[in-house]
Amino acid sequence: MYVTGRVQGVFYRATTRDEARERGVDGWVQNLEDGRVEAVFEGSEEAVEAMVEWCHEGSDRAHVEDVEAVYGEPGGLDGFEIRR
């Protein structure tokens, strides 16, 4: 996932981690140098789709302009982390 807008410095990563853990989704989230946020989600199709939908809103302080979802094969991630 690539999320564009005011998504850095507004608790987007922390809130994404919390939402993913609540839904039983594994993966990670990180800020990119160009101002976007990148995230990888692994889990049931239903849980991953719920995360994709959630990313359109994000944290309360975020202003999401665009979400690009790229689908691929799972990599066997365990847990959900914020990458720096």
Indicate which residues carry an active-site annotation: 13, 31
Helices (H), the chain: 12-23, 45-55
Q: How far is CA 23 from CA 27, 32, 41, 54, 66, in A?
A: 12, 24, 11, 11, 23
